[in-house]
Copies of this chain bind each other. A is one copy, B any other.
Amino acid sequence: MAPELPDVDVERLVGAIAGLLGERERTTQRAMASRVLHAYAGLDEMGRARFLGLLANRFGTDDAAVLDAVDAFHAAEPGAERMIAERALRRAVTPRHAEFLHLVTGLPDGVKLLVDLRAELLGIRARDPALGFLDDELAGHLSTLFDVGLLELRRITWDGASAAVLEKLIAYEAVHEIDGFEDLKHRLESDRRCYAFFHPAMPDEPLVFVEIALVRGMATELRPLLDLDSSTIDPEDADAAVFYSITSPQRGLAGVALGNELIKQVVEALRRDLPRLETFVTLSPIPRFRPWLEARVAMRGLSQFEQESVGLELRPDDAVWLERARPGLLSLCARYLTTLDHGRAADPVGNFHLSNGAVVERVNWMANPASYGMAESLGLMVNYRYDLDAIGPNARAYLNGETITASNRVKNLIK
C-alpha cells in the first residue's frame, strides 16, 4: 500500500523542489523533476493532497516581491511608467510552481501527468485558496496545451484503431456502458461512426469521443442503437446522424471546452464524407427531469391540463397510469427543457448542447425504458439538433440568457 507523505519526508520533498527550481541546466533539472514525480506516484490519496498543498503554499509567489510591485504600481504615473510597473507586477504574481508545471510538461508522459495532477486538484482545490491558485495556474497551462489547434480529430474504426485505444473507449464510455470488445465492434459497424480528439503528447488517450448512428429518419429510441442484433444500413442511404453518446473521460481537463469543438468538427467531417446527411441530432438523456417533476407535483406546480393527465402522484410502474399521464408528462418535459432558470437550462446536458447552439428538437416517449432511464426521466429522452448555420445566433441567444430555441413540435407539446 502506498504511504501517506510522512512528516519526515515533507522537508526532503520541499528541498528537492527548491533544488530543481534553482538548477539552471535543463537536463539535470528534468532528471530531478522526474525523481520528485516518482516519489509523488508512490503516495496515497492523503499523501498526494499534502504534496499538492506543499507545492501550492511553499512555491507560490514571493510575498515581499508582490508587495514591492504593488507599491511601485501605486507610485507610478499613469502612462508608460505605470505600464512598466504593471509588467513587473504581473511577473511578481506569477507563482514559482508555474515553472515546475512547465518542467513536467517536457518529461516523458509529462502531459498526461499534468492532466492527472489536475484531476487530483479538482477534488481539493476548495480547501485552501493556495490550492485554488495552483489550480488556476494548472488550468491555464492545460487550456493552452490542449488548444483545439493542437488536437487531432481521428475517426475510430475497428480496422484502424489500436487495441490500446479501443480498450480505453470501453473503460471510459460514461453514457451507455460498452460490454467488451464484441460490443464495441458493434458500435463501429459500417452504419456507425466514432470520432475522438487526441493530443500529440498522449497518442493513445481519447480526450473526448462521440458515438454516432447513421439512420433514416430520426432516432427516437435508444434500444435499436445499442442492440447487438439490429440490422445495419448502407451509410449512403442514411439522411440523419444521431449522436447518442459523448464522453469526456479526462477529469483533469474540466473547463477545457473540447466536447463543443468535437461535435462541430464531426458534423463538418460527416457532411463532407456523406453529402446526403441532412439532420444532425443527439439522442440525449434528461438526467434531472424526474427530481424536478417530483418537486413540481409536490408543490402543485402543474397546469390544469397536466394535472388532469398526471394526477397527484407519479406511478411509473403502473402501465395504465403511464398511458394516461403521457400527454401531461410530455408537456411537463417540454416545459422543463425550454424554461430558463436563472438564465440557464435546468438540465446539465441541455445546458451543454444549448451553449453549443443546438435546438431542442423533439421529446421522445419511452425512448429509454431501462431502469436508469426510468429513474432519471421516466424513460423520456430528447433530440437536440445541430444546424451549423444557426449555431451562432442560437448560442448567443442562450448564453445571453434570452431564450432557449426549440422546434414548434416541442413548443406545441406544452399545454
Contacts and interface: CB of A to CB of B under 8 A. Distances in A.
Interface of A: 23-28, 60-61, 63, 66, 70, 73-74, 78, 80, 82-84, 86-87, 89-91, 93-94, 102, 105-107, 110-111, 128-130, 132-133, 136, 141, 143-145, 147-150, 152, 157-164, 166-167, 180-181, 184-185, 200-201, 204, 257, 260-261, 264, 357, 391-392, 395-396, 399-400
Given A158-B162, A163-B158, A200 B150 contact: yes
Given A25-B357, A80-B129, A391-B27, A148 B106 contact: yes
Centre residue among A25, A87, A357, A391 by max chain B CB count within 10 A: A25
A144 B147 CA distance: 11
Main secondary structure of the interface of A (DSSP, over half): helix
B395 A24 contact: yes
A141 to B, nearest CB: 6
A25 B396 contact: yes
A80 B131 CA distance: 11
B158 A161 contact: no
A163 B26 CA distance: 34
A147 B102 CA distance: 8
Given A87-B132, A93-B93, 11 more contacts: A25-B392, A25-B399, A27-B392, A61-B86, A63-B78, A66-B86, A70-B74, A80-B128, A145-B147, A159-B163, A161-B163
A144 B392 CA distance: 30
